[in-house]
Structure 1
Amino acid sequence: MKKDIAVPPFCVSANYPMPGRDFVKKKHLAKFDQRVLALSAVLDGASIQQAARTYGVDRSTLTSMTEAASTLAPDGKPFGYRVCIPWYRVAESVVTRVEVPLASGPGAFARLLAALPDLKELVLSYKGKLPAHNEPSSKFEVFFRKFVAYLKGKELECYYPLNSSDRGRRALQNWIKRERKGVRDLQMGDNEDAAYTLTRLDQLLTLQPLDRVELDGHRTDCDWHAQVPTKDGKWTTELVSAIWVLAAIDVVSLAAFPCTLVVGPSYDRYDVLETFANTLRPWEPRKLIVPNLRYAPDAWMPTMSCVAGDVHRPASTAIDNFLAHKAKITTENIGDHQLGVVNLGFPHVPEGRPNIEAFFKRLEDAVLRQLAGGYRPPNEQSGKKQFVSTKSSKNYPVNAEALRDLIDVEISAYNITPHPALQHRTPREVFESHIHDGMWTTQSFLTAEDTEQLLVLHKSVTIRGNKRKGVLPYVKYQHAKYRSKKLNNRYDLVGRTFWASIHSHSAHQMSIWDEDGNLLVVLQALRPWGVPHSLQQRSAVLKCVQRGILHIEGTDDALAAYHEFVRAKASELQWATDEYLKEGLKQTQPVFRKAKPSLLDQLNSLSDLTPRAGQVDLRQRRKS
């Protein structure tokens, strides 16, 4: 029959400190009292086996408690009955003299470091990465040589670990791993009592489809190459700086919207607005140019609808505060025409937008890294990128339109693929079930207009001109003059300011609005900007003009002059390679027609003839 456990008296056989019972948690009080009685019995002369059996304490636990009770704590007093607290651990700084182990065994490496404090400091000083599977670490190899040299300097060749087959390499790696994990766990424990903060909307509310959409841009993990012409009329492949994918995904149904593909070192505000427009624009399958590429029979997108008014609009969109995301035109147009809440979060914090990050990872693993040049980026364990594809992108140059076709097909197939996070339902099933249940969604007959207005730049302009000098009224914006026949005699408007709108895809036209918001006149750009072009293209041309590497004065088409310059420099300059691929110039390679022979060509054709010998008189003879 078990003996009743009473509050133990202070042990008189040894002057050991006794912690107060209020220091012990309530759930550990019973176990604490058992250990106190068992330790008191051992100190009074009972055997460990007898005391352990009598008071229900594990024998090995009681043995370690007895050994630790007499050791000194950091406060200079014996640990005493403090070792009876279940969660209490003896400080590691108090160790008895330990000998260097002769052979390997449980705890041998820990005893080695305990016997050689200087060696432990050396091991703790290593902050480099550890070798992983098929990923060696040169820093660790240098450190391991120092580790072996220290042991040899102590003449411990016959002791562990130098007498083992690997000289302690694996034991050293495992000890460092456990030590680093212990530090991380300790840091996590210190933060457990920190105040809980809300970082996402789904932590506050139960979200439904289209309540929150995450949008972001992703730089693809692939070394893309483009085929570009050379000056001698041949072709070569040059490295592309980067290709970006901008996409949006619903956080509840995980349905992905049509994406935007951007070629270049980064993307800008117009690319962001185009991606926002894709969440409102009705989706239609592309006309694929890849021969064997086909859409799935039931390919689907969240914006799949016949008319824009039937498209279901997101209630809120989460993006980070990247420069292109918080540009003036971006924030103003989204605020006026997105008709929802936009949450600007911190950049490089995937926890704030985990669903779009997971979608990009899924797209990389399933599609992009399988293409020629695809790789896994370097991480903490691996200092260099690891190529996944066995094909070289130099031998398989990228076609931007074909890549757009591929990504569009893959996203439409992803939306009808069972997802493990949705209990193996497809994003389409979750999305459409929400719609069919009659739950709250947003639809508007202004969706088509809002989609176009998202891509329109609004700006205040002043009409200029001079009647005395015969200068017709015009408007100047970004080095381009805009005129209209309707303004030829309206000198009364010169000096007045109006609101103007320019569509980002039609920068050759400008609409002027009066004070009442009515359309006053539509202006056309004069040469060399009179041809259809986008604001992005004009900015690219003006950058070259400002750098003095391109001249467009006297030309009828600034865009054609820019394209010709890009073709000439595509094999020499990085940005020209990007522009050649972005503008699709390979598909529009100019065809040089043979010019008609001129009078000068006919005269030059006589240059190879040998003149007659003697004097030649070419004067016209008078007829007799």
Structure 2
Amino acid sequence: MNPELWPVVDELLLSEEERNVYVNRKNAVVLYFKGIGLKRIHEQTGVHPKNLRRLIHRCILISDDGLVWGFRALIPQKKVKPYQLNLSSKKKNPSRKTGEFKLLLETYPPLQDLIKDLFLGNHRRSLEPAMKPHHIHKKFIDTCRTLGIPLHQYPFNTDHLGFKALQRYVTKLSFMYFGKNRTRYGQDAITKAKHTGEGEQNHPSTLHPYQKVQFDAHRIDGFFIIEVMTPEGDLIPIVLDRFWILTLIDVATRVVLGYAISLNKEYSAVDVMHCFRNTVIPHEKVTVSIEGLKYNQTGGFPSEVYPSSTAWAVWDMIYFDNAKSHLANLVQDRLKHLIGCDINLGPVALPMRRGIIERFFKILEETGFHRLPNTTGSNPDDPRRTDPEKNAVKYKMSFDHLKQLIDILISDYNGKPHGGIYHQTPLELLGKRLNAGLLPRQLEEELRKEVLFMQVTKTATIRGSLKSGKKPYIQFQGVEYRSDKLGQSAHLLNKELILHVNVDDLRTIRTFLPDGSEFDYLAAAGKWSITPHSLQIRKAINSLVRQRLIYLTTWDDPIFVYTEYLRINATKGKRGAANTVTQVKESTRKRTTINEPEGQTEALERVEERNAALERAREHTKKEQTDREYTEYKDLMKLYKTKL
């Protein structure tokens, strides 16, 4: 035993009389462990040898926290052992019932099991979800009678039949089983008890920018509209269902690194990767068309304000919950092999684990969306909620306006003082850390391609037939993919190709041979290669074709047909159709891709030339058919007039 390792006592909290007793006891115990004789210890401290042995025994007892009592056991009147009733003791006071309840439970273990099961809801002793103490007491007394406990013994010899003692016992049970009683306190309380208040997350000391980031999504508290053209040619406003904003924030500086908007009912893995892509790629301000709305000069995004240090910067650790979209293979693979970061998966529905980003969402709503006439407020009873859908239509609050508003709100947030960082602005603190040499990692030059953020790896068998003369091709999501090189590679028939698929744009697919060597860029057959479209859109179109809700011919652009189908459904008021229309428009909008691979550009150019040639051939064929039909008509009329 080494007293230097024992728990200590703050002596200043004791009264002067208690302090004198404690100090003498402490000195006596310390001298004993130094090997000083009992007689000498008695002379120096006044502690009798018999009392000293008792004190040492108290010090080495194990307390409820798993440690020895140590010097804490030397505090005057300190209880180190629970009270144990001794029925044979001559000092026992018959009028006091202290310890009787505990002795009863030790004598009759079924009583203890009954109380515990009823209070914690175990073993289906009762269908009542959260039994109250007085109901438990009723069962307790009934069981005491069943066990044959005489009426002159405890608990029948007390005024309240042991109810007060039972109350104290169930309170002690709630402490002992903290975080384990779902039926009594609910799943939310249990989840918080299990996953908060422990670990490194509760002792943050992050100084390095981009060392730790938090990710989460928040459903925007407001309605917005899009304008859709009816079959009669009229533009009408359609209200969008509420959608999501996904955000990444730096723990050290509180600066928002990037964001994305998801129009899906539930955001997907692709939406998560859009947020990561927008964070790493240098940010560009949106074009503002709302009169009077402008960016604050002190705000901005890190890659705009500190481009040399934060453009293409990546993080070391990301915190988010166990939502399905976060666990998807696309997200896990890109974080590991592209970003190169560690993942900390916290529990679902536990926002306090990501308190920094949750506070940002609250600021975003309170300073932005909750001030608009189309706000839904923070709950259905919020007085700020005054017919938000009607107001969205009345004031023409469009989706394009939302995109401008979000970009400006986040930009301004980064330039406003923040209480959590001593009233500095996030961008100001970020600049100080960067000037101090705390620079983040930046993505390697060869990895700075936008398509890599949305890339998944698949395999496909090369199909074709020597017998029928069908050239080699592969099939992916119901569409054939070809290239001149593949068409001339009959020796690869029935072999596998490794596909690097950009789930944001399925017009082309990059392929590799099984040994890892690059093969070629394959282009989608027919009109599938005209309009950019995502994997989600391709699956939706294929599903509608299988259900025979839309029909595609060789000359139809599938994305155009799909958009028309959605537009008609949106004008009919089909739920979610307006969101899907907007999502398709955003996905198919042609924009400049950052560092687009040269092979992909060449493949798309060849496809455009081929489609243009096919279109010319179609027009020529159509003209010939029209001329032929006109000639036949003239001959028929001439013949008809002759007969007359």
Q: TM-score range by the shorter chain?
A: 0.5 to 0.7
Instruction: Return 5+ residue gaps in structure 2 as ranges.
Output: 1-16, 22-54, 64-71, 79-92, 102-130, 136-169, 180-192, 590-622, 631-638
C-alpha contact (below 8 Å) 1:337/1:450 kept by paired residues: no
Paired AA for residue 407 in structure 2: D
Alpha-carbon distance, 1:522 to partner: 1.1
Paired AA for residue 334 in structure 1: L
Kindly report which structure 2 residues correspond to 1:408-487, keeping only aligned pairs within 5 A, or say none: 408-439=407-438, 441-446=440-445, 448-449=447-448, 451-487=450-486
Distance change (3 Å), C-alpha of 1:71 and 1:360: farther
Alpha-carbon distance, 1:188 to partner: 7.5
Kindly report which structure 2 residues correspond to 1:61-460, keeping only aligned pairs within 5 A, or say none: 198-201=198-201, 203=203, 206-304=206-304, 306=307, 310-378=311-379, 384-388=381-385, 392-439=391-438, 441-446=440-445, 448-449=447-448, 451-460=450-459
TM-score w.r.t. the length of structure 2 is 0.60
Distance change (3 Å), C-alpha of 1:618 and 1:335: closer
Q: Deviations over 1:468-514 (max 9, x none)?
A: 10111111000111011222221111111121112233211011123
Distance change (3 Å), C-alpha of 1:544 and 1:445: same
Identity within the alignment, %:
23
C-alpha contact (below 8 Å) 1:300/1:413 kept by paired residues: yes
Match of residue 579 from structure 1: 580
C-alpha contact (below 8 Å) 1:309/1:443 kept by paired residues: yes
Distance change (3 Å), C-alpha of 1:480 and 1:200: farther
Distance 1:307 1:513 in 2: 35
Alpha-carbon distance, 1:211 to partner: 1.5
C-alpha contact (below 8 Å) 2:246/2:275 kept by paired residues: yes
Q: Deviations over 1:384-416 (max 9, x none)?
A: 454346762232344223211211111111101
Distance 2:261 2:580 in 1: 14
Higher helix content, 1 or 2: 2
C-alpha contact (below 8 Å) 2:346/2:353 kept by paired residues: yes
Paired AA for residue 575 in structure 2: Q
Alpha-carbon distance, 1:256 to partner: 0.3
C-alpha contact (below 8 Å) 1:198/1:204 kept by paired residues: no
Alpha-carbon distance, 1:440 to partner: 5.1
Count the aligned residue pairs: 438
Distance 2:307 2:209 in 1: 21
TM-score w.r.t. the length of structure 1 is 0.62
Paired AA for residue 313 in structure 1: V
C-alpha contact (below 8 Å) 2:472/2:482 kept by paired residues: yes
Instruction: Return 5+ residue gaps in structure 1 as ranges.
Output: 8-20, 31-68, 78-120, 126-182, 589-595, 603-616
Distance change (3 Å), C-alpha of 1:28 and 1:400: farther
Alpha-carbon distance, 1:322 to partner: 0.9
Match of residue 541 from structure 2: 541
Match of residue 551 from structure 1: 551
Alpha-carbon distance, 1:231 to partner: 4.2
C-alpha contact (below 8 Å) 2:472/2:487 kept by paired residues: yes
Q: Deviations over 1:341-399 (max 9, x none)?
A: 11122111112111111111111111122223313333xxxx74543467622323442
The alignment's C-alpha RMSD in Å is 4.1
C-alpha contact (below 8 Å) 1:227/1:235 kept by paired residues: yes
Distance 1:306 1:29 in 2: 66
Distance 2:553 2:457 in 1: 28
Alpha-carbon distance, 1:260 to partner: 0.4
Distance change (3 Å), C-alpha of 1:618 and 1:503: closer
Q: Deviations over 1:441-467 (max 9, x none)?
A: 323433752653121122112211112
Secondary structure in 1 matching 2:314: coil
Distance 1:275 1:347 in 2: 19
Distance 2:376 2:199 in 1: 32
C-alpha contact (below 8 Å) 1:281/1:308 kept by paired residues: no
Match of residue 619 from structure 2: none
C-alpha contact (below 8 Å) 2:201/2:353 kept by paired residues: no
Paired AA for residue 303 in structure 2: T
Distance 1:228 1:524 in 2: 32
C-alpha contact (below 8 Å) 1:249/1:255 kept by paired residues: yes
Secondary structure in 1 matching 2:576: helix
Distance 2:342 2:233 in 1: 53
Distance change (3 Å), C-alpha of 1:500 and 1:621: closer
Distance 2:309 2:439 in 1: 18
Distance 1:184 1:362 in 2: 39
